[in-house]
């Protein structure tokens, strides 16, 4: 309630009809009228010019309206409409002093200031004081007659008018008691009311429907001032509690809340000036709408510049803020409750609607900060999830269990943050942010899972590669009939080990059965691929291997000793054996046989290649190729799938041809070596030389036979030669070739002779025995 112990006044509307908005706002601010809500009253005084209206108001309410100086004669003092607060009256009462009427008839023209101000007073005031001279009562030419007519006419222009109290203040009352005057006055009023032209709807409406008529009389201020003051003091009492039921301003239907007073007055005056009809209920709603909106906007504006809010918003930009919901709720509550207080007296529906708008706008305004905060919570929860998961995995926790625990704890953390950020004014939904967090967590978990599984897969593939690659290569080195069976066995064993270890390793991931099966199958396929890849690699080197195999078998005997071609060996058989071994190697390399199906390939290859069909085909008749099992690019006949083929039949033929061509030289070499050996070991001269020697040496031979001494000498030479032959191992020296034998013998000849002579000399000189000749002889034969 406004409490002000002095009068404050201002001109509300000037003589030209201009509304003094600034003045009124100042008046409202100074008198704190806004705080009154609905607890205020407005009264207006109308009456002829210089009828003592200002004087009466000033005495009644201690206002300071301008009064005419009594010594300067009667002339118009008040121009337009003035307002002032009534000092010491409870409730707060606004008094309006209207420009005095000049007592002339105005006809039906509503645009005169007199009518406009009368209409304004009736629309705004709860109590209208009609100031009139006592001597005008019952007079036909009364000064207030046009005024009343105006009042009644304009009242018709107010839709759904409120019931206004018309307080007739009879001035300069005579000795005639008021009880006698009042019926005459009522009669005068009724006559005027009847004479006023009314709209059809109000044709029979009685005056009492619109007005609450009261009459009071005052003694002359000029002549009986003391009495006047005394009566004024009594009259003043009637204005206390005027808004209570039964009070002077008892009808409160059309009252506008004090917060809307300024706007309401401005709007009413604007409508009056535009000469439009005033719909007071609609006006009331309009005032409520505008004022509630203004107040709501003001609250929103204050919210946007609130220091606490700005600090909170800034803090949210940087990171999570604890107690966000509590702090924001308190800030919002300040403005929402402020709005409620200021708009309390306005139309309920309008007020609520505007409150909802204020809430909605305010929440929209602060919502980005809330989302920002949730973003921080989401980010933090995700980061915590990542670090917690890493920690758990580092200490060896199971993957699925780690994911579950980390997810639970970070979601709990998010929920706590979310609960902390919630405000009581709104039920903000964080489900989308939460869903996003879940998606992020799942995506991260999935990526970590993929990385971990990839690591495992790579390590097991590496392990499989190591355990298969070299052993398979080694098996191909010694390729034979059981090679593929051994490879299959190796593959099965190593795959089994890897699969069981891998299954155990991925069990903590708790993957679904189909994924696990697929991964295991991939690992098995990988192992198989390693073998297949190795087989293809080896197949590319098959010709070299075949040649190696050939030369290994061809050049070594059964004891793996290098073969010496002495002429006794059966080169044909050895060649066949070597080729068989090579063909056997080729048959191993022809196709991948991991499925364990028995293959007929070896038989086909042997029958086709070893029996010389290939050579025959190439040289005899091209038409034979149609029956050649190797004249094909696939091994369909022996049920080998195309993807298992390493070397096609045609390639086999070509390889075999190449192989034979390239190994033929080795065979030729062996045959040559054998021939050379034979030749080098045949030391007897040719038969023709023997015959020539016999014919030509017949005389010398006969000479030797005739002389025994020659024969003896010949025998000694023979013995010496034999000793030399044995001692020097002449056949052995010639085994490495003729030239090498000659060089070796020539280098050893002299030392051997010397050695022999030295030993003979030693025997003859140093060791005298009983039977020296026999011993010498045995030495020679021993040598």
Q: Which is nearer to ligand GTP, 221 or 309 (CB)?
A: 221
Distance in angstroms (rounded) separating the CA atoms of residues 354 and 511 = 57
Distance in angstroms (rounded) separating the CA atoms of residues 288 and 294 = 10
Distance in angstroms (rounded) separating the CA atoms of residues 410 and 389 = 10
Distance in Å, CB of 330 to ligand GTP, minimum: 54
H helix count then E strand count, the chain: 27, 9
Choose among 262, 277, 342, 274: nearest CA to 10.
262
107 is in an annotated binding site: no
Distance in Å, CB of 54 to ligand GTP, minimum: 3
168 three-class SS: strand
Distance in Å, CB of 156 to ligand GTP, minimum: 26
Q: Which is nearer to ligand GTP, 210 or 221 (CB)?
A: 221
CA 252 to chain centre: 61
91 is in an annotated binding site: no
603 three-class SS: helix
Distance in Å, CB of 104 to ligand GTP, minimum: 14
Distance in Å, CB of 13 to ligand GTP, minimum: 14
Distance in Å, CB of 67 to ligand GTP, minimum: 4
533 is in an annotated binding site: no
Give residues in contact with ligand GTP (CB under 6 A). Answer: 49-55, 67-68, 70, 74, 76-78, 100, 171-172, 220-222
Helices 698-706 and 687-696 pack at an angle, to 10 degrees, of 60
Sequence-distant (≥ 6) Cβ neighbours of residue 432 within 8 angstroms: none
Q: Which is nearer to ligand GTP, 232 or 374 (CB)?
A: 232
Distance in Å, CB of 218 to ligand GTP, minimum: 6
Distance in Å, CB of 73 to ligand GTP, minimum: 8
Q: Which is nearer to ligand GTP, 52 or 599 (CB)?
A: 52
Beta bridge partners of residue 41, listed in sequence order? 93
List alpha helices for 590-646, DSSP H.
601-605, 613-619
Distance in Å, CB of 114 to ligand GTP, minimum: 12
Q: Is the peptide bond before 91 cis (omega within 30 degrees of 0)?
A: yes
For residue 253, what are the CA distances in angstroms to 97, 208, 734? Answer: 23, 16, 151
Distance in Å, CB of 366 to ligand GTP, minimum: 55
Distance in Å, CB of 62 to ligand GTP, minimum: 15
Q: Which is nearer to ligand GTP, 76 or 447 (CB)?
A: 76
357 is in an annotated binding site: no
52 is in an annotated binding site: yes
Q: Which is nearer to ligand GTP, 45 or 546 (CB)?
A: 45
Distance in angstroms (rounded) separating the CA atoms of residues 705 and 88 = 192
Q: Which is nearer to ligand GTP, 67 or 494 (CB)?
A: 67
Distance in Å, CB of 299 to ligand GTP, minimum: 42
Choose among 57, 492, 46, 11: nearest CA to 236.
57
Q: Which is nearer to ligand GTP, 54 or 406 (CB)?
A: 54
CA 556 to chain centre: 73
Half-sphere exposure of 423 (CA within 13 A, CB side): 21
Residue whose token pair is 């964080």: 430
CB count within 10 Å of CB 619 equals 7
Q: State both tokens at 618.
A: 């190439």
672 is in an annotated binding site: no
Q: Which is nearer to ligand GTP, 49 or 405 (CB)?
A: 49
CA dihedral 682, 683, 684, 686 (to 10 degrees): 70
Distance in angstroms (rounded) separating the CA atoms of residues 677 and 672 = 8
Sequence-distant (≥ 6) Cβ neighbours of residue 675 within 8 angstroms: 567
- Residue 299's Cβ-count burial label (10 Å; 0-12, 13-18, 19+) is buried
List alpha helices for 478-512, DSSP H.
483-506
Q: Which is nearer to ligand GTP, 103 or 398 (CB)?
A: 103
Q: Which is nearer to ligand GTP, 98 or 523 (CB)?
A: 98
Choose among 357, 302, 353: nearest CA to 332.
302
Q: Which is nearer to ligand GTP, 49 or 654 (CB)?
A: 49
State the first-to-last Cα distance of the chain, in angstroms, to the nearest integer. Answer: 156
53 is in an annotated binding site: yes
CA dihedral 666, 672, 675, 680 (to 10 degrees): -110
Secondary structure letter of residue 590 according to DSSP: S
Distance in Å, CB of 348 to ligand GTP, minimum: 40
Distance in angstroms (rounded) separating the CA atoms of residues 340 and 352 = 9
Q: Which is nearer to ligand GTP, 117 or 744 (CB)?
A: 117
Distance in Å, CB of 115 to ligand GTP, minimum: 16
Q: Which is nearer to ligand GTP, 169 or 243 (CB)?
A: 169
| 337-357 burial code (b ≥16 CB/10 A, e <16) | eebeebbebbbeebbebbbee
| Residue positions counted in the chain | 783
Distance in angstroms (rounded) separating the CA atoms of residues 339 and 551 = 109
51 is in an annotated binding site: yes
Q: Which residues belong to the annotated binding site?
A: 47-54
Q: Which residues belong to the annotated binding site for GTP?
A: 47-54
């Amino acid at each position: 309630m406004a409490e002000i112990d002095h009068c404050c006044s201002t001109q509300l509307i000037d003589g030209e009809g201009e509304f003094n908005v600034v003045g009124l706002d100042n008046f409202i601010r100074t008198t704190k009228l806004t705080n009154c809500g609905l607890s205020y009253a407005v009264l207006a005084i109308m009456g002829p010019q210089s009828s003592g209206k200002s004087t009466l108001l000033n005495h009644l309410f201690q206002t300071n309206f301008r009064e005419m100086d009594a010594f300067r004669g009667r002339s118009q003092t008040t121009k337009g409409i003035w307002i002032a607060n009534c000092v010491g009256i409870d409730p707060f009462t606004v008094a309006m002093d209207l420009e005095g009427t000049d007592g002339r008839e105005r006809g039906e023209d509503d645009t005169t200031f007199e009518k406009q101000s009368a209409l304004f007073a009736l629309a705004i005031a709860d109590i209208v004081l009609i100031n009139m001279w006592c001597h005008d009562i019952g007079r036909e030419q009364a000064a207030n007659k046009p005024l009343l007519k105006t009042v009644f006419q304009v009242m018709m222009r107010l839709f759904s008018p409120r019931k206004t109290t018309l307080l007739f203040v009879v001035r300069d009352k005579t000795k005639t008691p008021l009880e006698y005057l009042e019926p005459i006055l009522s009669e005068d009023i009724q006559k005027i009311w009847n004479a006023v032209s009314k709209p059809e709807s109000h044709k029979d409406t009685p005056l009492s429907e619109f007005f609450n008529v009261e009459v009071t009389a005052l003694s002359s201020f000029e002549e009986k001032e003391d009495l006047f003051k005394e009566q004024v003091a009594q009259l003043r009492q009637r204005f206390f509690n005027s808004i209570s039921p039964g009070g002077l301003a008892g009808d409160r239907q059309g009252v506008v809340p004090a917060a809307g007073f300024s706007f309401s007055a401005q709007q009413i005056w604007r409508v009056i000036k535009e000469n439009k009809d005033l719909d007071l209920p609609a006006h009331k709603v309009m005032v409520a709408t505008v004022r509630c909106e203004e107040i709501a906007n003001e609250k929103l504006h204050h919210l946007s510049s609130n220091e606490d809010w700005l600090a909170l918003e800034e803090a949210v930009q940087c990171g999570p803020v604890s107690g966000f919901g509590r702090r924001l709720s308190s800030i919002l509550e300040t403005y929402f409750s402020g709005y409620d207080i200021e708009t309390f007296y306005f139309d309920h529906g309008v007020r609520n609607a505007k409150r909802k708008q204020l809430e909605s706008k305010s929440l929209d305004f602060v919502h980005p900060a809330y989302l920002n905060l949730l973003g921080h919570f989401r980010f933090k929860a995700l980061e915590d999830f990542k670090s917690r998961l890493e920690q758990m995995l580092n200490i060896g926790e199971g993957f699925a269990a780690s994911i579950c625990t980390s997810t639970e704890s970070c979601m709990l953390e998010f929920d706590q943050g979310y609960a902390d950020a919630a405000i009581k004014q709104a039920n903000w939904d964080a489900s989308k942010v939460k869903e996003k967090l879940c998606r992020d967590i799942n995506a991260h978990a999935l990526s970590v899972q993929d990385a971990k599984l990839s690591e495992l897969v790579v390590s097991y593939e590496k392990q499989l590669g190591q355990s298969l690659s070299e052993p398979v290569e080694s098996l191909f080195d010694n390729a034979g009939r059981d090679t593929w069976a051994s490879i299959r066995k190796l593959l099965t064993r190593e795959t089994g080990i890897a699969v069981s270890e891998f299954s155990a390793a991925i069990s903590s991931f708790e993957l679904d059965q189909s994924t696990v099966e697929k991964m295991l199958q991939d690992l098995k396929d990988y192992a198989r691929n390693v073998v297949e890849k190795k087989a293809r690699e080896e197949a590319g080197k098959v010709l070299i291997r075949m040649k190696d195999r050939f030369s290994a078998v061809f050049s070594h005997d059964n004891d793996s000793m290098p073969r010496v071609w002495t002429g006794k060996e059966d080169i044909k058989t050895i060649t066949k054996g070597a080729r068989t071994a090579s063909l056997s190697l080729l048959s191993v390399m022809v196709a991948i046989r991991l499925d364990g199906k028995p293959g007929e390939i070896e038989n086909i290859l042997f029958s086709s290649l070893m029996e010389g069909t290939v050579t025959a085909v190439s040289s005899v008749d091209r038409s034979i190729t149609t029956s050649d099992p190797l004249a094909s690019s696939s091994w369909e006949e022996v049920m080998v799938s195309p993807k298992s083929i390493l070397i096609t039949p045609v390639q086999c033929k070509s390889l075999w041809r190449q192989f034979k061509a390239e190994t033929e030289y080795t065979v030729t070499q062996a045959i040559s070596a054998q021939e050379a050996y034979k030749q080098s070991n045949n030391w007897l001269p040719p038969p023709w030389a023997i015959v020539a020697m016999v014919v030509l040496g017949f005389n010398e031979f006969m000479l030797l036979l005739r002389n025994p001494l020659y024969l003896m000498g010949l025998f000694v030479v023979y013995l010496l030669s034999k000793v030399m032959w044995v001692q020097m191992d002449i056949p052995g020296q010639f085994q490495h070739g003729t030239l090498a034998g000659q060089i070796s013998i020539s280098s050893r000849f002299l030392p051997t002779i010397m050695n022999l002579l030295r030993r003979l000399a030693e025997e003859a000189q140093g060791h005298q025995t009983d039977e020296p000749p026999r011993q010498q002889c045995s030495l020679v034969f021993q040598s």
